[in-house]
Structure 1
Amino acid sequence: MFILSLTYVKPNDEADRHMEPHMAWVKEGYAKGWFLASGRKMPRTGGVIFAIGERAAIEAYVAADPFIIHGIAEYDITELTVTTAVEGLEILKG
């Protein structure tokens, strides 16, 4: 599993201008079966996506995020080996 933590490097109004294509990219990540959950950080300094899949494919997909392409955010990708999960979240286990 991967934790994709994005941090805005430009103001929120700049992020808002690119939010629609970013959200289309997020929805495509769900359609591919890679994204499991996502949302904004509070306070609004970026967001977090929980993802599964092959690291190289995830990294390549992150590089195609409109937020990356337009210099809105930077990503920190953390790989996590889940060993324990509540019932119903077994998909997180590697």
Structure 2
Amino acid sequence: MYVVLLNYTAPIEEIDYALPDHVEWLTKQYEHGYFLASGRRKPRVGGVIITRPMNRGKLDAILASDPFSVKHLAQYEVIEFSPTKTAPELRELNEAVAR
């Protein structure tokens, strides 16, 4: 699984203009079952996405299709990790990763 840190590379006005397209893209990724959580960073310098486990090449392709990426509005830092301990609410996720 991955934690993806988005860092805005454009003024916030450009980010806000592209935000509806980005939200639509996020919705599609949730519908496909790829993403587990996402949101804005505080202060508002970017965002965070937590993904399900997948091939890194697949994740890179998904991120390349983000309107923020297509319009060169953000850069992405991808951190891969394997959860070994989770809260009870995430137990099913941890068991899926362990398989």
Category of TM-score, reference length = shorter chain: over 0.9
Distance 1:92 1:7, change over 3 A: farther
Distance 1:9 1:92, change over 3 A: farther
SS in 2 for 1:88: helix
Deviation of 1:58 (Å):
1.1
Deviation of 1:92 (Å):
4.2
Larger radius of gyration: 2
1:3-25 per-position Cα deviation (integer Å, ceiling 9, x unaligned): 01100000111100100110001
TM-score (norm 2): 0.90
Amino acid at match of 1:42: K
The whole-number CA distance in structure 2 between the counterparts of 1:44 and 1:64 is: 22
Structure 2: which 5+ residue stretches go unaligned?
none
> Corresponding residue for 2:76?
75
Structure 1: which 5+ residue stretches go unaligned?
none
Give identity over the alignment, percent. 35
SS in 2 for 1:21: helix
Amino acid at match of 2:44: R
Query: Runs (4+) of structure 1 moved beyond 2 Å?
Result: none
Name the structure with the higher helix share: 2
Distance 1:35 1:69, change over 3 A: same
The whole-number CA distance in structure 1 between the counterparts of 2:59 and 2:25 is: 12
> Corresponding residue for 2:19?
19
Aligned length: 94
1:52-76 per-position Cα deviation (integer Å, ceiling 9, x unaligned): 1222111100001000000100001
1:29 corresponds to 2:39: no
Amino acid at match of 1:20: P
TM-score (norm 1): 0.95
The whole-number CA distance in structure 1 between the counterparts of 2:77 and 2:29 is: 17
Distance 1:20 1:28, change over 3 A: same
> Corresponding residue for 1:64?
65
